[in-house]
Amino acid sequence: MIDLKQYWAKVPQSVLLSGGVFTEVSAFAEQWAANIMQTSCETVRQHPNFRALYPVNRMRQISVDALRALIHWVYTSAQGNKVCMIYEADRLNLAAANALLKVLEEPAEHTSIFLLTQRPYDLLPTVRSRCWWVQLPSDGALASSDNVLQGCLTDLSQYVTDYLEQGVPLDPLKVYGLLYRFQGYLNHQIEQVEVEGTLLEAEEKVGQQARMEKQWVQQLFTEVERTLNAWVHEHALSALGRVRYAQWVSDLEKAYRRTEVNFGAIASLESFLLTLCV
């Protein structure tokens, strides 16, 4: 965990927090917020000058109405340092993201906005560019991106064994664990572009990152299908298992096609994996 002391004297207007484990990112942000409002971490969520937004409903989105309600509170609530915490900020829908952008461009006085995410590159580039980006240390397991990818594929192959043979749904927690590790792999690759592309113009860099992100995620889909095909050839599937596998491949192809029409790459992978949870 990062030592908070280096941040205690700072009262930022907008911060993007990513990296690490999401529970640690949340704890880090809430400790920082507690210091800004001069309260304890244990009571920060109950503080009258603290507001939080989370993804809601089955689509797990943050709506523009929820964002506007937050903005209204910012401009009409009592005086004092206020903190707005947006958990899983990558779940802002486009209208909400654009509404947030206006606030970031003309920030309110005595207000700090924290955006928490494991998917910083799913945010609008204009939103990212207007925030102070603090990246917490990644889990040591992410040190070697190739090992991470192979580990994810191995685990996924193991998880679907019961699904294909017995119809046992995947545990959603395992799905989100895989997504976190896949995102770590993707972030590592994109960070290499940041390092190697420092001489590019800003718009050129964004364009290159977008192209490479799509390329890498499509590679993930290809590797997932290859791994599962290899697994099927090594196991004698029941008739029910063959039906499930055929449906699985069909869902995978649909998710892959979504990435070709600029549907969020990681969101496509998530929607596919969640079909194995029912």
Q: What's the whole-number mean pLDDT along residues 246-272?
A: 74
What's the longest Cα–Cα distance across the chain? 67
- pLDDT attached to residue 236: 64
Helix (H) or strand (E) holding 25: helix 22-37
CA nearest to 84, candidates 59, 75, 21, 119: 75
pTM of the model: 0.54
- pLDDT attached to residue 143: 45
Q: Which of 14-18, 120-124, 261-265 has the highest mean pLDDT?
A: 14-18
Fold annotation for 4-137: Rossmann fold (3.40.50)
Give dist(CA 179, CA 35) in Å, integer.
32
pLDDT value at 242 more than 90: no
Q: Which of the four pLDDT bands, split at 50, 70 and 90, describes residue 50?
A: very high
Residue entry with tokens 């999401």: 22
- pLDDT attached to residue 141: 39
- pLDDT attached to residue 83: 94
Residues near 11 by beta carbon (within 8 Å), at least 6 away in sequence? 36, 81, 112
Domain ranges within the chain, ordered by starting residue: 4-137, 141-277
pLDDT value at 1 more than 60: no
- pLDDT attached to residue 68: 94
| DSSP three-state, residue 177 | helix
Q: Which of 167-171, 194-198, 248-252 has the highest mean pLDDT?
A: 248-252
More confident residue, 195 or 179: 179
Min mean pLDDT across 69-73, 201-205, 208-212 is at 201-205
Give dist(CA 132, CA 120) in Å, integer.
12
Q: 114: number of CA atoms within 13 Å, CB side?
A: 27
- pLDDT attached to residue 203: 55
- pLDDT attached to residue 113: 95
- pLDDT attached to residue 221: 73
Q: What's the whole-number mean pLDDT along residues 162-180?
A: 75
Give dist(CA 269, CA 257) in Å, integer.
11
**Percent above pLDDT 90 for the chain:** 17
